[in-house]
Chains A and B, each alone.
Chain A
Amino acid sequence: ILNVEQSPQSLHVQEGDSTNFTCSFPSSNFYALHWYRWETAKSPEALFVMTLNGDEKKKGRISATLNTKEGYSYLYIKGSQPEDSATYLCAFYGSGNTGKLIFGQGTTLQVKP
């Protein structure tokens, strides 16, 4: 059974704090690791799709790293802002998935002004 775990489940931080979340996934048959941002009452939007071990991606204050050998990815948010409040989902895609992504349960971030 393929399993994708995210931690923590939820996080409350103050505006300006930096924070990070973890996604762990199977370390074999890897194709891609996705991060999505899911705001309340909206649809998930892709932040990053990473395909190579050692990949580091950055978009503004948000960045992500990937370690496919040990099966983990970190998402970092520098200087959190209230508009960063959302659920952050990671998803694993591998050769054994028959085409579908395996999503984690998400980390819900609340940034207090």
Chain B
Amino acid sequence: GAGVSQSPSNKVTEKGKDVELRCDPISGHTALYWYRQSLGQGLEFLIYFQGNSAPDKSGLPSDRFSAERTGGSVSTLTIQRTQQEDSAVYLCASSFMDRRREQYFGPGTRLTVT
């Protein structure tokens, strides 16, 4: 079946603009995660949605970052007033809500803030 999809694949934006990144998880996966990888860094957790529960936003780096998940499926990560340090690859993953939690990652969105 179809894997996790993300759009756009690349986004170049000017400092101060808002951006929206989209993630479409695997059908039936009720858990959805956002991560990012900045240049030379490891995988950084941002936010996690689990079914109908309140999201775990503990990884969001500032209040310029927000995310929502509509209808328990598609998720949008919004970054307001982008800064150069927001430049990174943003990865979305989804999983079943079981004890394994095997993550299926999307191809990522490369965000460049100029």
Quick one: closest B residue to A108, CB to CB? B42
- Whether B91 sits at the interface, judged by CB under 8 Å, is yes
| Interface membership of chain B positions 29-54, coded 1 if the CB is closer than 8 angstroms to chain A and 0 otherwise | 00101000000001101001010000
A100 to B101: give the CA distance in the assembly, Å: 8
- Whether A111 sits at the interface, judged by CB under 8 Å, is no
Quick one: closest A residue to B43, CB to CB? A103
The secondary-structure label for the interface of chain B is loop
Q: Which residues of chain B (85-107) have a CB below 8 Å from chain A?
A: 91, 97, 99-107
Q: Which residues of chain A (82-107) have a CB below 8 Å from chain B?
A: 89, 91, 93, 98-101, 103-106
| Interface size, chain B (Cβ < 8 Å) | 20
Chain B contacts for A36, CB-based, 8 A: 103
A-B contact pairs, 20 of them (CB 8 A): A31-B99, A32-B99, A32-B101, A42-B107, A43-B91, A43-B105, A43-B106, A44-B43, A51-B100, A89-B42, A91-B103, A93-B99, A93-B100, A99-B31, A99-B48, A99-B56, A100-B56, A101-B103, A103-B45, A105-B42
